[in-house]
Amino acid sequence: MSTKRIFSILIKCFGILLFIIILNKIDVSSLFKLLNKDIIAPLLITIALLIVSYLFKALRWNLLCKAYDIPISIVFSFRVFLVGTFLGFTTPGRMGELFRAYYLKEQGHSLSKSIFSVVLDRLIDLCFLMVFVIISIVFLELKYGIINQVFKIDSYLPLILLTIGVAGLIAGWFFIKNMSWFLEFKEKLKEYRHAFLSLDLNTADKLLLIIYTLIGLFIGYGLFYYLAVCLNINIGFFDILACAFFVSMIQLLPISILGIGTRDITLIYFFHLNSIGAEWAVLLSAVLLIANVGATLPGMFVFIAHKAKYTNIIDKGSKTE
What does 191-240 look like in DSSP terms, one character per residue? HHHHHHHT----HHHHHHHHHHHHHHHHHHHHHHHHHHHHTT----HHHH
Report the Cα–Cα distance between both ends of the chain, in Å, rounded. 14
Write out pLDDT tens, residues 70-87: 888 999 999 999 988 888
Question: What CA–CA distance (Å, rounded) separates 294 from 93?
Answer: 21
Contact 85, 308 (CB under 8 A): no
pTM, rounded to two decimals: 0.80
* Lowest-confidence region among 163-167, 190-194, 264-268: 163-167
Q: 215 to each of 78, 125, 256, how far by Cα in Å? A: 16, 12, 28
Contact 302, 79 (CB under 8 A): yes
Write out pLDDT tens, residues 115-136: 888 888 988 898 999 999 899 8
Question: Residue 153: its pLDDT value, please?
Answer: 47
3-state class (DSSP) for residue 107: coil
Q: Flag whether pLDDT at 174 surpasses 70.
A: no
Give domain limits for the chain: 40-320
Question: What CA–CA distance (Å, rounded) separates 270 from 287?
Answer: 17
Helix residue spans in the chain (DSSP H): 3-25, 28-34, 40-67, 74-90, 95-106, 111-144, 146-150, 157-176, 180-197, 203-230, 237-250, 262-273, 278-294, 297-305, 307-320
Answer positive or negative: Cα dihedral of 146, 151, 155, 161: positive
Question: Residue 75: its pLDDT value, please?
Answer: 93
Question: What CA–CA distance (Å, rounded) separates 9 from 177?
Answer: 29
